[in-house]
Structure 1
Amino acid sequence: MAAVLHTGHGDIHLALRPDETPYTVDNFVGLSTGSRTWTDPVTGATGEGGFYDGTVFHRRVPGFVVQGGDRLGTGHGSAGYRIPDEIHPDRGFERPFQLAMANLGTDSTGSQFFITLASAPHLNGQYTIFGEVTDDRSKDVVGAIASAPTVVRLDRVTILAT
C-alpha cells in the first residue's frame, strides 16, 4: 500500500506497512480518505472529508523532522480519539525518511505524523513507524519543507493500493 502527500513544494511518495502496523495504517488511510469518523478540533463537530486536507506542517526542523496532521496547526490538535501504539521490534529510526505517528506518550497516537530527515535512534521504541519515503525526489521535497521560511500546506493525501 502506498500514499502520496500532495504539498505546495511537491509530492511525497510513501510506502505504508499494513502488514506490520495494520491499525495505524488503517487509521491513516481512514483519516486521509474521510472514511474514518473524526472530530474537528476547532468546532467540535464531526468532520467531513479528508482530515489532512489543507493542514500545515506545524513542526519543521531542518536535518531532523517534519510533522503534520494537526488541524489546529499548533501541535496540540487531534482527530478526537487515540489509538494504541504498534511498535514493531524490527523497525527503528537508524535510517532517515521514516514515517511515524507522533504521540504524547504510550498509546496516545491519533492523527499527527512525522517524517525523519536523519538517523534518530534515540526515538526507537517510542513511536509507531508505519511507512517510509520511497524516492529521492520525495526526500528532496521533505528537506525543502523542513527548511521552508514560510508555512507549508498539505493539500491532500492520495492512497494507492499496491
Structure 2
Amino acid sequence: MAQDPENFLILTLEGGPVVIKLRPDVAPNHVARIKELAREGFYDGVVFHRVIPGFMAQGGDPTGTGSGGSKKPNLKAEFNDVHHGRGVCSMARTNNPDTANSQFFICFDDAGFLDRQYTVWGEVVSGMEQIDALPKGEPPRSPGKIVSMKVAADVDNAAELLP
C-alpha cells in the first residue's frame, strides 16, 4: 500500500536523509505546525544545539541557543499515549506545558519518563543512523545542521525514500 507523502517529512542532514512518519492522529496541531515551518524553510540551516548520548538530539531553534523559536504563537499541549522510544520525535518546551513552538527532539533510546508530559508528533522510520551520528554536546563544539526539512509531498523523489 502506498504511503501518504503528506504525512512524512524528509529531514536531510549532512550525512544523508532521515524519514519521519508524522502522527496527525495523536497531535494534529503540532504536526500542522511542523509542516507549516518546514514548508516555509524555517528549519533549513538550523543546528542540533543539544545532543545527549543515550537520551536525545534537540534542534529547531533558529538562534542555536535553546531559547529561541518561531514568531508563531506557542502551541497548547497535545500529550498522548505514544511511548518515547528510540526514534520518537517530540516537542521541546519550557516548564509550562503549553510552550511548544518550533523546537523538537528525537530520542536515541527509551525515554519513557517523558511519556504524557511532552507531545509526540512523529517517528523516524529510516535514517536513524544519521541522528546517531550527530556531534554530541550541550552545545556540541561543531553542531550538526539540518540541511533541509521538507514535507515528502513537496519532494520530487520522495517515493523512493518512503517505506
For the criterion TM > 0.5, the same-fold answer is yes
* Pairing 1:110–2:116 present: no
Cα 1:149/1:10, change in 2 over 3 Å: farther
Of the three residues 26, 30, 34, the one matched with 1:20 is: 26
Contact 1:65 1:114 in 2 (8 A): yes
Aligned equivalent of 2:117:
126
* Pairing 1:156–2:145 present: no
Q: For each residue in 1:48-72, what CA deviation from the matched residue of structure 2 results, as whole angstroms up to 9, or x when unmatched?
A: xx11111100011112110110000
Q: For each residue in 1:122-158, what CA deviation from the matched residue of structure 2 results, as whole angstroms up to 9, or x when unmatched?
A: 11111100100102xx111110015476221101111
Please list every run of at least 4 consecutive aligned residues from structure 1 whose deviation after the TM superposition is greater than 2 angstroms. Answer: 146-150
Mapped to 2, the partners of 1:103 and 1:151 lie a distance apart of 21
Structure 2 residues without counterparts, runs of 5 or longer: 1-6, 154-161
Partner SS for 2:131: helix
Mapped to 1, the partners of 2:83 and 2:66 lie a distance apart of 23
Partner AA of 2:143 in structure 1: V
Aligned equivalent of 1:96:
86
Partner SS for 1:158: strand
Q: How many residues are aligned here?
A: 143
TM-score (norm: length of structure 1):
0.83
What is the root-mean-square deviation in Å for CA atoms of aligned residues? Answer: 1.5
Identity, % of aligned positions: 34
Aligned equivalent of 1:139:
128
Partner SS for 2:35: helix
TM-score (norm: length of structure 2):
0.83
Contact 1:57 1:66 in 2 (8 A): yes
Partner SS for 1:30: helix
Q: For each residue in 1:18-58, what CA deviation from the matched residue of structure 2 results, as whole angstroms up to 9, or x when unmatched?
A: 12211100000000101xxxxxxxxxxxxxxx111111000
Structure 1 residues without counterparts, runs of 5 or longer: 35-49
